[in-house]
A = this chain, B = another copy of it.
């Protein structure tokens, strides 16, 4: 359970010469911080008489952001597992017979597919956090609008970071249909989130005056 580790110990492990945790774990934490900040803005808006008109909508946003936070927190550890599975498969004995060689290749390819889908799922979750940030930037308590801006920036960083891990694994996948399908979805997520993030950050900056 990656989330039980202290922040300092996680940063020590991240900085170390071990390959995990790496950028994939950092991506998930960025996304989870974004989701947490969306929740914070909701929690500081719901129940305030001034914001009664948006209360029902922000309660729905809060339920979503808390679900995303839970999934992104789990994703911190998933990245390590997926990476270790790839390394484990590459480390298998190369095999003598064609059958043994083919079995090793199949295991490597299966691990690479998983190691592509895990960061792609992280990217999807981060993209959803970007969308929720938009609601809280527009409708949340003005006193904490800067936190909505940090939310979108963190979620976007998580998405851009996860994207690199999708690419690095997808390029070694022999099933090109599988790989190209994932890369196409990734491009769509990135393209939409890029323009949304710029707009949302701009809204927050304007509201700060």
Contacts and interface: CB of A to CB of B under 8 A. Distances in A.
A69 interface: yes
A151 B11 CA distance: 12
Instruction: Give 3 nearest A-B pairs by CB, closest first.
Output: A23-B150, A3-B8, A157-B157
A116 interface: no
A61 interface: no
A40 B10 CA distance: 12
Interface residues of A, number: 58
Nearest to A38: B15
Contacts of A76: 7
Contacts of A208: 164, 167-168, 171
A189 to B, nearest CB: 15
A6 B8 contact: no
